[in-house]
Structure 1
C-alpha cells in the first residue's frame, strides 16, 4: 500500500477535475467546441494541459519513492511542493493579464519536486543494489 501517495493523488485528482471543468466552462461561454481561438479558452486549456503533463509523472515518482522506503515526512514534503507548484502555475497562467511570477514559481516548485524525487530514487536504488 502507498497511503501517502494515494492521499496526494486524491488531491491532484480534485485539481484535475477543477481545471477540466474550467475548460468546459470557457468553451461553453465562448461557444468553442474545438481548438482555442479565444485567449481565455487558450489559458484554461493550457493550465489543464500543463497539469496533465506534469502531475502523472510526479505521482509515479512519488509512488516509487514510497515503495522504496523514502520516509513519510519526505514524501509529504514532495507532495506539498507538488501541490503548491501545480496550484501556483495554474493560477498564474489562468489570469488575464498573466501573473508570470506565480506561473514561474509554480514551474520551479514542480521541477524541484521532480528533481528531488528523481535523485531520491537514484539514491534508494543504489542503496538497494
Structure 2
C-alpha cells in the first residue's frame, strides 16, 4: 500500500527543506563562512531553522505514515499534514526574522507540537484498537 497522503505532505516539506537549505548556503557564501556560522546573526538563525526542521519533521512524517498504514481517517491525516506544513512555515518565518520571541516562531512550534501530540495519541488509540479509521489500507473519507 502506498501512503499517498503522507507522500504528498512529505513532498511539500521536502521542498520547504530545500528552500531552508538554499538560504543557509546563500548566507554562507554572502558572508564567506565555510563552517559554523561565523557569528553572523542571520546565518545563525538560518542554521537553527534548518536544524529545528530536521529535529521535528522526520518523526512527525514517520507518525503520519504509520497512521496512514494503520488505516487512520483520511481527514485526520490531511489535517495533521496541513497543520505540520503550516507550523513549519510559520516557525521558519518567525525565527528567520528574529532570534527572540516572535509570533511565527511561537505558533509554528505550538502547531508542530500539536501535530506530534495528536499523532502520538492517535497511534496509541489505533494500537490498542480504538476506532480511528477503517482498518489497515482503508480510509473513512
What is the match of residue 65 of structure 1? 67
Q: Higher helix share goes to which structure?
A: 1
- 8 Å contact kept, 2:23–2:46: yes
Distance 2:27 2:98 in 1: 13
Consecutive unaligned residues of structure 2, counting only runs of 5 or more, are 131-141
Structure 2-normalised TM-score?
0.87
Work out the number of aligned pairs and report it.
Answer: 128
What is the match of residue 8 of structure 1? 9
Distance 2:17 2:99 in 1: 23
Structure 1-normalised TM-score?
0.95
Say which one has the larger Rg. 2
Distance 1:97 1:104 in 2: 12
Dislocated runs of 4+, deviation >6 Å = none
Consecutive unaligned residues of structure 1, counting only runs of 5 or more, are none
What is the match of residue 93 of structure 1? 95
Kindly indicate whether residue 28 of structure 2 is the aligned counterpart of residue 53 of structure 1. Answer: no
Could you tell which deviates more after superposition, 91-100 or 69-78? Answer: 91-100
**What root-mean-square deviation, in Å, do the aligned CA atoms of Structure 1 and Structure 2 show?**
1.3
What is the match of residue 135 of structure 2? none
